Chain A
């Protein structure tokens, strides 16, 4: 069973850690969040590929709640590793609800990747959506309430699409999660694909990501940057690996995210667009479907979890200290927060694919796989997205946040917590170690056979350096107009925040008006019926043109004078009778 120690599910450990942290006092909570995720990591490392734990459910159904193969192992381990880093980063939080939801969110993400049957997969998929929603609602800003509702609605749609597909699969007797590319391409296939594509933030269904992540709590967005989209990438690799449709989707995501990031002024929104962009490489890799591209997608997911969360941690540390999220209000942060700057540089160089950082050894695998599959245009467009990454993170963010003169608009409100610094350093060290020793730390664990890619060749090395040195020239030439200004960029979420919302409100007002009218008509009808049933005989006796006399009890009452008159008359008669008889 799940709760026997030797079979302890790492995801369940995270959920229990969350409950424990929520029930404890703040001081103990700090220790629990910082230390207990190690148990889940150790528990996960105990499971060898091939492990399949199960229990009987409803007599004739077997739940395969923990299945470890080389693909799920890689994802589950990196999820546990980041659960540990995220726990350390967020352990100073005062909110017990956030502690519970963040750990349960990590646990449910691990639950999805370790699920071997559709029911378990769906259960953890839904749990992940619910727990992450509370990371948005836990933020006190008024905008977070609406963003959380929108996030929940989109993920409810995703969950329902997966549910529909899963029900159809179960009806067909298909119980286990497996690659569906062999067919049939029925409603179940398309429904599950659509549900996963929403969670992977495929353009144009990516609006929830930028909207939701920027509204989440400072520590919540760090967790969110690492799990929802990566769980969906795992699902694509597991279920839809080799779907050519995904190549175009991935390339579009990579370019779209990179372009929109150039416009953005909000640090978290900018990084959220880069999640869309980097996940695009993984989606394209899953679509190409060769062992090299699938390995590339897996490797990039692992590296992306580390460098993207590192960038989120750095930016959120600055927001924590200054209360400022807008790039155009910052500047000079390298001098004030040198450790954050160093960690940011590591994250930025990693995401841009600079040699000796982990993005260099992962991103290029997918691009090389596209070249080997004779998809030159795909490779070229993915390289163009890499240029965009240099532009918006290595140049724009690094200059305007850290290196530009301080505008004096972001005075320090509180110091950055030491646990946040430790977590950032851990992330930076992992990014560098994987970048320097990819064979030892990453490639040997990749699930789709030998990687077949050598990152440190003269060509790869020089091309990335040249890309960085040359791309900075247009940036500097255009620098006076590169500084973002205070504005928001409309995106595909506009469709459900404006016309769709107006449509829903219009229908709601129409229904409300209709209900009121019907209610009014009902009231009038009831009153008329009451009048009729007051005196049914009168209604039955109704004759046209006959003056009707309405019923009134006064018509049947006698005057008090009549009564007195009768009494007096009887009295006088009695007196007269008795007098004459006596």
Chain B
């Protein structure tokens, strides 16, 4: 099994691999003329790379840094103080 949380070197290697693969796919698409007729923002060269990176950060920040402290409670939140806890 892979411990990417504790092993920072391994994590860095996986990040590098993912970046390299994205670059390869981008280059192959460019070579095959995939970006020749962009009709939409994400079909422009690098559009999806930028969108996926920024979009993923937006979701992580929104979910883990803003909503988690705001909305997460103890697991017995609904049971606390209720004599009919199962309802």
Q: How far is the CA of A502 from the CA of B60 in the complex (A)?
A: 34
10 A-B interface contacts by CB (under 8 A): A142-B85, A384-B58, A404-B2, A405-B2, A458-B32, A458-B34, A466-B22, A483-B5, A488-B72, A490-B72
A residues engaging B (CB < 8 A)?
142-143, 145-146, 149, 258-260, 262-263, 331-332, 334-335, 371, 376, 379-380, 383-384, 387-388, 390-391, 399, 403-406, 457-459, 462-463, 465-467, 469-483, 486-491, 497-498
Residues of chain A within 8 A of B35, CB atoms compared:
459
B residues engaging A (CB < 8 A)?
1-5, 11, 14-15, 18-19, 21-22, 25-26, 28-29, 32-35, 39-43, 48-49, 51-53, 55-60, 62-64, 67-68, 71-75, 77-78, 85-87
Q: Which of A146, A458, A487 contacts B73 (CB 8 A)?
A: A487
Residues of chain A within 8 A of B33, CB atoms compared:
458
Decide: B40 and A376 in contact? CB cutoff 8 A. yes
Residues of chain A within 8 A of B43, CB atoms compared:
459, 463
Q: How far is the CA of A282 from the CA of B53 in the complex (A)?
A: 25
Query: Given that A383-B51, A466-B26, A466-B49 are contacting pairs, would A260 and B63 also be in contact in the complex, using a CB cutoff of 8 Å?
Result: yes
Q: Which of A334, A390, A391, A458 contacts B1 (CB 8 A)?
A: A334
CB-based closest 8 A-B pairs: A262-B63, A469-B22, A458-B34, A462-B29, A470-B52, A146-B87, A142-B86, A487-B72
Q: How far is the CA of A391 from the CA of B3 in the complex (A)?
A: 18
Q: Which of B1, B49, B56 contacts A405 (CB 8 A)?
A: B1
Q: How far is the CA of A477 from the CA of B87 in the complex (A)?
A: 41
Least CB separation from A388: chain B residue: B59
Decide: B25 and A262 in contact? CB cutoff 8 A. no
Measured CB to CB, the closest approach of chain B to A28, in angstroms, equals 35
Least CB separation from B67: chain A residue: A263
Decide: A399 and B4 in contact? CB cutoff 8 A. yes
Decide: A479 and B68 in contact? CB cutoff 8 A. no
Decide: B18 and A473 in contact? CB cutoff 8 A. yes
Measured CB to CB, the closest approach of chain A to B11, in angstroms, equals 5
Query: Given that A487-B74, A488-B72, A488-B77 are contacting pairs, would A476 and B14 also be in contact in the complex, using a CB cutoff of 8 Å?
Result: yes
Q: How far is the CA of A489 from the CA of B74 in the complex (A)?
A: 9
Other A-B contacts than A463-B42, A466-B25, A466-B48, 17 sampled, CB-CB below 8 A, are A146-B86, A332-B1, A405-B2, A405-B3, A406-B1, A458-B34, A459-B35, A462-B48, A465-B21, A470-B19, A470-B52, A474-B56, A474-B60, A479-B11, A488-B73, A489-B68, A490-B72
- Which of A259, A391, A473, A483 has the largest count of B CB atoms less than 10 A from its CB? A473
Decide: A467 and B64 in contact? CB cutoff 8 A. no
Q: Which of B26, B29, B59, B68 contacts A387 (CB 8 A)?
A: B59
Decide: B48 and A467 in contact? CB cutoff 8 A. yes
Q: How far is the CA of A183 from the CA of B52 in the complex (A)?
A: 41
Measured CB to CB, the closest approach of chain B to A378, in angstroms, equals 12
Decide: B60 and A478 in contact? CB cutoff 8 A. yes
Decide: A470 and B64 in contact? CB cutoff 8 A. no
Decide: A380 and B42 in contact? CB cutoff 8 A. yes
Q: How far is the CA of A388 from the CA of B54 in the complex (A)?
A: 12
Least CB separation from B76: chain A residue: A488
